[in-house]
Amino acid sequence: MSASRRAVLGAALGGAAGAAVGLSAATSAHAASWQQKWAPTASGDGLGAFETVEDDRADSHPAGHPHIYATGNDWRFTMHTVDRDTSTDRQRQEVTGLRTGSSYLKWTQGQTWRLTYSMYIPSSLKATTTFTHIMQMKQPGNGTSPIVVQSLRRVNGVQTIELNLPVAGVLVGRTDLDPLHDRWTDVDFQIKVGNGTAGSVRWILKSGSTTVIDESRTGVDTFLADRVRPKWGIYRSLGDTSGSLQDTYLLLTDLRGYQLV
């Protein structure tokens, strides 16, 4: 990550903790602050940074292994058009969770968490008419519904990147994807884990020193049961009708996790 991108993220985290969405005045009065809980490096931790790794779960493309790996300071998620998930109408190369040594961080009701990282979306990773998710928040376990999804979606033929809360039925925000292709984009994401109307989120994308989007929602459902667990990678449907599916990849770097305490 360049020094300028580090400065941008550092400045964002250096702001008042009271800017966190859903933070009550009473909590803010007690000088709540973001405490770093997770700071892996691709070169040092590799895939050990994550709770689980879902690399070609169906073993559909052995010649392409590994699809997920560390390269220098980045984590790379490679997707080939021949790759298939266990449900053969879709593709999935993802990692889950925030591992710290022999354990992992658990996001539970009432907690507020923040993730910052940089992502490189090549022009070969296009928005589609069906789902293409590059980040999710879910309750662990098979068949659970996504709580948060950051997706690449075609809207009236235009490539966009958006953040949705499927359980709450809320579109948090959407912006053009084309200007973010073939460059590093900084992500700053906050979530207060809450059931019913007790949750909140904030989603910020920055390209260099330019804020591309900064959207928040409060009073939303961000919890199903047990806990919330982040996922990163490429998870996309094969039902696209725009001809946008091709061999591609996604790069992530400088992943950081913070808890508001």
| Among the ranges given (2-11, 145-154, 185-194), the one the predictor scored with the smallest mean pLDDT | 2-11
29 has a pLDDT exceeding 70: no
Q: Given pLDDT bands bounded at 50, 70 and 90, which one contains residue 30? A: low
CA 77 vs. chain centroid, Å, equals 13
- In this structure, what token pair is assigned to residue 25? 């005045």
Predicted confidence (pLDDT) per residue in 216-248, tens digit: 999 999 999 999 999 999 999 999 999 999 999
Interval 71-117: pLDDT, tens: 999 999 999 999 999 999 999 999 999 999 999 999 999 999 999 99
pLDDT at residue 213 above 50?
Answer: yes
Average pLDDT over residues 10-29: 54
Which are the contacts of 210, defined by CB distance < 8 A and separation ≥ 6?
Answer: none
User: pLDDT value at position 142?
Assistant: 82
CB 136 within 8 A of CB 152: no
Q: Rounded to whole angstroms, how far apart are CA atoms 24 and 247? A: 46
Q: What's the rounded Cα separation, in Å, for the pair 194 and 201?
A: 10
What is the reported pLDDT for 18? 47
Q: Give pTM, 2 decimals.
A: 0.91
Domains and CATH numbers, the chain: 3-260 (2.60.120.200)
Confidence of residue 65 (pLDDT cuts 50, 70, 90): very high
Q: What is the pLDDT of residue 22?
A: 67
3-state secondary structure the chain: CCHHHHHHHHHHHCCCHHHCCCCCHHHHHCCCCEEEEECCCHHHHHHHHCCEEEECCCCCCHHHCCCEEEECCEEEEEECCCCCCCCCCEEEEEEECCEECCEECCECCCCEEEEEEEEECCCCCCCECCCEEEEEEECCCCCCCEEEEEEEEEECCEEEEEEEECCCCEEEEEEECHHHCCCEEEEEEEEECCCCCCEEEEEEEEECCEEEEEEEEEEECCCCCCCEEEEEEEEEECCCCCCCCCCEEEEEEEEEEEEEC
Both tokens assigned to 109: 């009701």
